Amino acid sequence: MAGILDRKVALITGAGSGIGQATARIFAREGARLVLADVVEEGGNRTLKMVQDLGAEGIFVRCDVSRGSDVEGAVAQAVATFGRLDCAFNNAGIEGQGGDTHLCSEENWNRVIAINLTGVWLCMKAEIAQMLKQGGGGAIVNTSSGAGLAGVPHMPAYVASKHGVAGLTRAAAIEYGKHGIRINAVCPGPIRTPMTGRMFEKRPDMEQKMARAEPLRRMGEPGEIGEAVAWLCSDHASYVTGLPMPVDGGFMAT
């Protein structure tokens, strides 16, 4: 039986780890042809092997999303290899350093904004240009966060970057709807990935606290984000655009 992304060409950033890797595996299961982008080759190549083992076609492209030339190169590679680009999951991101707003360094601020927000914009810029060149149509999903919908203390740059992604998603959806390009975001709650693993190493009490705060009383798994992204990229979500979608165990309902 054909998957919901059958033959679609999909670019995934931050594909070497966590949510990006799990999503790549789900896209492979659903029949997508994959362009896996990450700043770290080792993780990216590991994910490539996983999707190939699942029978998917794919390539790995080294890409730092905060560099416009890298991003343009990744989209060009997609077109050179598969002839087009149908979907993109702009997911690469970093947590940066935690701390009060008045103690956040300019260096931390600039780095987090460059990767989490400028990176998403650079990806959208190159992807939308390619989709328009193809004659329109396409689906883009950006990774925002629960921290893109509500204030979370002690991570000012991260919260600002993720609110920025949610706003950019809404605005671009309005601009490109007439071209059949749908643009949505996922806003994950706490998900068990290397990113949260690093945060819990510093604050071991956080894991239980976060899980207890969720109506579903647990953290999420990376594949639970990937399933939502696959649906948003598929034709099953054909009337959904401009939505920063919480996938968070119900936290935003509290």
Q: Give residues in contact with ligand NAP (CB under 6 A).
A: 13-14, 16-20, 38-40, 43, 63-66, 91-94, 115, 143, 145, 188, 190-191, 193-196
* Shortest distance in whole angstroms from residue 143 CB to ligand NAP: 4
* Shortest distance in whole angstroms from residue 217 CB to ligand NAP: 16
Our CB check for ligand NAP shows the closer of 196 and 234 to be: 196
* Shortest distance in whole angstroms from residue 13 CB to ligand NAP: 5
Would you call 187 helix, strand, or coil by DSSP? strand
Our CB check for ligand NAP shows the closer of 4 and 219 to be: 219
Would you state the structure tokens that stand for residue 183, as one six-digit string? 């643009």
Would you state the structure tokens that stand for residue 177, as one six-digit string? 């709807």
Our CB check for ligand NAP shows the closer of 63 and 126 to be: 63
Measured between alpha carbons, how far is 209 from 206 in angstroms, rounded to an integer? 5
* Shortest distance in whole angstroms from residue 66 CB to ligand NAP: 5
Kindly list the distances between the CA atom of residue 182 and the CA atoms of 20, 185, 216, 232, in Å, as whole numbers in the listed order: 20, 10, 30, 9
Measured between alpha carbons, how far is 78 from 106 in angstroms, rounded to an integer? 35
Our CB check for ligand NAP shows the closer of 30 and 64 to be: 64
Query: Under 8 Å CB-to-CB from 9, ≥6 apart: which residues?
Result: 32, 33, 35, 78, 82, 83, 84, 85, 86, 87
Catalytic site residue 158?
A: yes
Q: What angle do CA 76, 127, 83 make, to 5 degrees?
A: 45
**Catalytic residue, candidates 27, 60, 82, 158:** 158
- Just list the catalytic residues: 158
